[in-house]
């Protein structure tokens, strides 16, 4: 009969937790598009903080919001 419980080391290989960047000093850090908009859903202002450029932000935002509109249709095929 197999074991029900894993050792601590084996359990930690499965149950990993990555700390989020929402600590005390997050607001003073430079924006990061990966952290702000790919790991989580983001707002236009969060994207703006990451790019620090209106044109780049608008270009990204158009693509980002289009992808979100397509997501329910894409999820159907997964």
Q: Is the dihedral of CA 30, 33, 35, 41 positive or negative?
A: positive
**Does the pTM exceed 0.75?**
no
Please report which residue ranges of the chain form alpha helices under DSSP H.
Answer: 8-14, 33, 44-51, 54-77
Q: Rounded to an integer, what distance in angstroms lies between the CA atom of residue 56 and that of residue 74?
A: 26
Residues in the chain, pLDDT under 70: 1-2, 14-31, 70-78
Residue 68: per-residue pLDDT:
75
Residue 71: per-residue pLDDT:
64
Residue 69: per-residue pLDDT:
75
CA-nearest of 74, 39, 45 to 60 is 45
Residue 58: per-residue pLDDT:
94
Residue 27: per-residue pLDDT:
55
Cβ within 8 Å of residue 64, ≥6 positions away:
37, 42, 47
Residue 55: per-residue pLDDT:
94
Instruction: Report residue 5 as tokens.
Output: 């419980």
């Amino acid at each position: 009969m197999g074991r029900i419980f894993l050792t601590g080391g084996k359990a930690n290989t499965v149950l990993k937790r990555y700390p989020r960047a929402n600590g005390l000093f997050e607001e003073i850090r430079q924006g990061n598009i990966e952290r702000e908009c790919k790991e989580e859903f983001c707002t236009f202002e969060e994207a703006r903080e990451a790019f620090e450029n209106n044109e780049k932000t608008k270009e990204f935002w158009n693509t980002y919001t289009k992808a979100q509109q397509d997501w329910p249709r894409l999820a159907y095929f997964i």
